[in-house]
Amino acid sequence: MNTVSRTGTVLVCLSAYPRDLVESWVERAGRVEVVLADGAPLAQLLPDLERADIVVGDAARRYPLDAAVLARMRCCRLLVHPAVGLDGVVDLAAAAAAGIRVVNAPGYNAEAVADWTLLAMLTTLRDGVGADRDLRSDGWHARPLGRELGAMTVGIVGFGAIGRAVHRRLRGFGTRVLCSDPRPLTGSDAEGATQVDLDDLLADSDLVTLHAPLTDATRHLLDAARLAGMREGSVLVNAARGELVDEVALVDALRAGRPAAAALDVYATEPLPPSSPLLDLDNVFLTPHIAAGTEQARQRVRTLVRDVIRAELDAT
């Protein structure tokens, strides 16, 4: 644990941000004590969390702030979480009960994740990984024909900031787009998308991409029955939350060929265990939760965190 002792406001940063960056956020506010987690166990950080006025959450999800921890954060008035999803990281009901204002970073990663989603679709449709692997090992030879994205029907599950960013990109390919979302489609970003229920979307889509939040209602949204209802030859793309899909059922479905392939950036357990059967499947494109990992997205979220902290300090 890395602490600089000062008097006045206490800021605890649980994300792995460098000290000079965090201190630059508060330098104009005068006396602010900055505490960096530096990978210390949560139990070791509790004394500092108990006296913290402002807490920056952990984007890597190493420090879950449950009801028991939040109840001890009696001095905290602001919790800034530098990511979109709060599931499994912050108990929102407990934070509200403790009088802690929680701010996350919605939309900061929309463009980055949408880019990855298109990468995953194109890589899977053209078997880019397999072509590279075969060329390196077996030399130059003919391969099965790929499919064009513009000839596909894409189903977007969840039409928030990321789903809309995916749709904007698909317009350039001339792709037919279906959408499933509990809210009615509105705005120019929805132009050209047809809203349908989830089961119809699964049955009618060549590619299904998930961009819904993880809640009690969406956990295992795609179970064995719904996976079996996907179109023959279809592809599943998931860069949202691993637990939106029943991973055991997905492995069985991929082995059975429906869906025919998947592209995954998120998993039920992260890091993905070396024993995961997903690693043994040739019809899966896997990346280690990097969809939001661009220089531009990192700068956007850091700027958001800085601005929220400065506004809080300026108001006190």
Annotated catalytic residue, options 289, 298, 306, 310: 289
Annotated catalytic residue, options 27, 148, 191, 270: 270
Which pLDDT score is estimated for 152? Answer: 98
Which pLDDT score is estimated for 7? Answer: 52
- Whether 15 and 55 have beta carbons less than 8 Å apart is answered as no
Render pLDDT for 88-126 as a digit per residue (tens, 0 to 9): 889 999 999 999 999 999 899 999 999 999 999 999 999
Which pLDDT score is estimated for 307? Answer: 96
Please confirm, yes or no, whether 241 is among the known catalytic residues. Answer: yes
- Whether 22 and 54 have beta carbons less than 8 Å apart is answered as no
**Which residues of the chain fall short of a pLDDT of 70?**
1-7
- CA angle at 46 for the pair 41 and 52, rounded to the nearest 5°: 125
Annotated catalytic residue, options 241, 243, 302, 312: 241
Render pLDDT for 22-65 as a digit per residue (tens, 0 to 9): 999 998 777 899 999 999 999 999 999 999 999 999 998 999 99
Which pLDDT score is estimated for 6? Answer: 40
Going by C-alpha positions, the residue among 204, 213, 117 that lies closest to residue 168 is: 117
Which pLDDT score is estimated for 8? Answer: 82
Which pLDDT score is estimated for 4? Answer: 43
Please confirm, yes or no, whether 167 is among the known catalytic residues. Answer: no
Please confirm, yes or no, whether 220 is among the known catalytic residues. Answer: no
Cα–Cα dist 315/299, whole Å: 24
